[in-house]
Structure 1
Amino acid sequence: MKSLSLHDRIRGGLYGVAVGDALGGTTEFMSRMSVQKKHGYLTEIVGGGVWELEPGEVTDDTMMTLCVADGIVKQPDAPVAAIGEHFLTWYRSNPKDIGNIIRSVLSGYDGNWTEASFVAHMNLGQSAGNGALMRCLPVALAYAELNDVERLSRQQAKMTHYDERCAATCEMYNRIAHRMLEEGAELRAAIADEIKGTEYVELLQPGAQPNCGPTGFVVDTMRWVLHLLLTSNSFEEVVQRAANEGGDSDTIGAIAGGLAGVYYGFSGIPQRYAEQILIKDRLDSLSEQLYALRVGKL
């Protein structure tokens, strides 16, 4: 793997989320067989799907990722309040796609994120969805210190997802990103180091497959993300495989695409994908700001 600049990796991470989201949005909620019947093997960003997306349009996965990034840029020393402001502004824009847990939290928020997430957890009977994991990557992109990455990964998760598994998974995911950004670690090695001693370790065995469907449960999602990253050889392969699996394909594609984008860099993302993303100007602007913040020039 050639040496990549920090800027290329940060930009790749943001674009990776958006591309995985836009490609997978076409096949969300479909079965693998249904995807195959309708699309053969989907390789292009064509839009459509349950949300009737425009080609290159993204869903809540990317938009909430941008909310986290915007909040960090606005108030890097203590970003939770600023992130929350961006969440609420996005929610009030009446987005096409918003998960049940996040909708419950944002509709019930009354000045206290911990209380809102707990109430939603109790009302819904669970809060272990993947909606915190899908948006957490900007924390790893913005902060060079591991304690900041770990602390803020958890804090942004707890804003909407009370279940501890969500905070723990966000922390693990961003530690993988941190290893690549700070140490130049190879993707598979970074994953292997972080999943030792966890329930995901069996995915390191040759031929291992996730023992679950590609669902929105955070543990199932993480299993599929890790499997795709461990067994693919390019950014393109990661996001295409996520899209063609169906299920929660936009979110799994976004999460896997984010780490793949950090590893392969923006230069490793096919230009036809990057150029098609409708919000690419926002991605470019935030990439610059996150890079400036990380290197102390914001």
Structure 2
Amino acid sequence: MTDHILNGILGLAVGDALGYPAQGKSRESLKFSPVLAMQQGLWSDDTSLTLCTLASLRENDWRLDYYDLMRRFASWLQEGYLTPEGTAFDVGATTKQALLNYLNRMPLERCAPRNQWNCGNGSLMRILPVEFYLQAHPEAARYEAIRNVSALTHAHICCTLGCFLYCTVAGEIIQHRERFKLHTLLMRGVAKAVEELRQVADADDNRELHYYSRIIDRSLYDLPAAEIESSGYVVDTLEAALWCLANTDSYRECLLWAVNLGDDADTVAAVAGSLAGLYYGYDSIPREWLAGLKNLEAIVRVCG
């Protein structure tokens, strides 16, 4: 098994499960009753759809098959494929609409809603295995692959750009974690993503990078927690995850910050946890958190 796959996927799954009990809770309420330990151990759509993506890639000899991806996503929704207890739950509205369109035989390129209010984090949370694919296929067109996988459920350019920034940061950590500190890797990854977008994306797409201005100009990292939103909006989720990573020094500390920001806590913690896992390694994940994770065997099996 490739270490970076296990590092990232276990980091993500633990973050998802740790954060799920805090989902929808206010930051103020969590100050009085913070999440400090694994509770139910249930991982949600974040982990399930990530595992669907990874399983599709692994079982197709590391080829991107968009129809197979959607088939697996639909199987998750309908049959509880790759879930902790056999039932899909916490299904995002945009993802659900895209999958219902697919099940109603709409052409794949038209399944995802494209309105500006369909800019949730539902593709961001599952996109990490595409970076594993890109690491194995360095000649592949990165922007095209990430855009196409995001657009299966989330076709708005804001979602594509968030996924591209995230994947490029993940790739930078995978390649250079032994050489640089995490804060440096975050900034290097973002700068690399922006430079690549200028070369491969069209002018209209590049203009939309303004959504991520606080990440790109690095002002995000020095903000107080009060100025960090942790909603299900893709920009908020990526900002919150990167802020937690840049302002902590361990997997445990990062995840506790991410979870106790509240609101869409499971997805913020999943995104932060995936990158923290890639950097610190799965051995950094508290043993008691791993031990409390439901159906850990299924996660490890998909990782290979």
Separation (CA, whole Å) in 2 of partners of 1:112 and 1:74:
24
Contact 1:203/1:209 (<8 A) preserved: no
Deviations 1:63-115 (A, max 9, x none): 11111111111222232121111101001035221001001111121252220
Deviations 1:267-286 (A, max 9, x none): 11111111221121122122
Structure 2 matches for 1:206-217, cutoff 5 A?
207-209=222-224, 211-217=227-233
**Residue of structure 1 in register with 2:254 after alignment:** 238
**Residue of structure 2 in register with 1:78 after alignment:** 64
Structure 2 matches for 1:44-123, cutoff 5 A?
44-46=37-39, 55-75=40-60, 76-93=62-79, 95-109=88-102, 110-117=105-112, 120-122=113-115
Deviation at 1:139, TM superposition (A): 1.5
Contact 2:169/2:185 (<8 A) preserved: yes
Q: In the alignment, residue 156 of structure 2 is paired with which amino acid?
A: D
**Residue of structure 2 in register with 1:274 after alignment:** 290
Q: In the alignment, residue 41 of structure 2 is paired with which amino acid?
A: G
Deviation at 1:205, TM superposition (A): 6.6
Partner residue of 1:11 out of 1, 6, 9: 6
Q: 1:269 to 1:113 in 2, by over 3 A?
A: same
Q: In the alignment, residue 130 of structure 1 is paired with which amino acid?
A: N
Separation (CA, whole Å) in 2 of partners of 1:162 and 1:143:
20
Separation (CA, whole Å) in 1 of partners of 2:159 and 2:138:
18
Deviations 1:185-205 (A, max 9, x none): 542222112334651134457
Tell which deviates more after alignment, 167-176 or 107-116.
107-116
Separation (CA, whole Å) in 1 of partners of 2:190 and 2:59:
33
Corresponding residue SS for 1:121:
coil
Structure 2 matches for 1:135-214, cutoff 5 A?
135-144=126-135, 145-146=137-138, 148=140, 149-184=142-177, 185-196=180-191, 199=213, 200-204=215-219, 207-209=222-224, 211-214=227-230
Separation (CA, whole Å) in 1 of partners of 2:144 and 2:252:
31
Tell which deviates more after alignment, 94-103 or 157-166.
94-103
Contact 1:158/1:167 (<8 A) preserved: yes
Unaligned runs of 5+ in 2: 80-86, 195-211
Deviations 1:9-58 (A, max 9, x none): 32111011111111110110110111233x2x321011xxxxxxxx1111
Contact 1:188/1:229 (<8 A) preserved: yes
Identity of aligned residues (%): 26
**Residue of structure 2 in register with 1:51 after alignment:** none
Separation (CA, whole Å) in 2 of partners of 1:147 and 1:192:
24
Q: In the alignment, residue 284 of structure 1 is paired with which amino acid?
A: V
Tell which deviates more after alignment, 209-218 or 268-277.
209-218
Q: 1:203 to 1:228 in 2, by over 3 A?
A: farther
Corresponding residue SS for 1:77:
coil
Contact 2:124/2:162 (<8 A) preserved: yes
Q: In the alignment, residue 190 of structure 1 is paired with which amino acid?
A: L
Separation (CA, whole Å) in 2 of partners of 1:129 and 1:80:
20
Separation (CA, whole Å) in 2 of partners of 1:7 and 1:249:
28
Deviation at 1:225, TM superposition (A): 0.9
Q: In the alignment, residue 7 of structure 1 is paired with which amino acid?
A: T
Q: 1:74 to 1:205 in 2, by over 3 A?
A: closer
Structure 2 matches for 1:221-236, cutoff 5 A?
221-236=237-252
Separation (CA, whole Å) in 2 of partners of 1:82 and 1:186:
37
Separation (CA, whole Å) in 2 of partners of 1:203 and 1:189:
11
Corresponding residue SS for 1:143:
helix
Separation (CA, whole Å) in 1 of partners of 2:138 and 2:167:
9
Q: 1:67 to 1:78 in 2, by over 3 A?
A: same
Separation (CA, whole Å) in 2 of partners of 1:283 and 1:204:
36
**Residue of structure 2 in register with 1:132 after alignment:** 123
Deviation at 1:234, TM superposition (A): 0.5
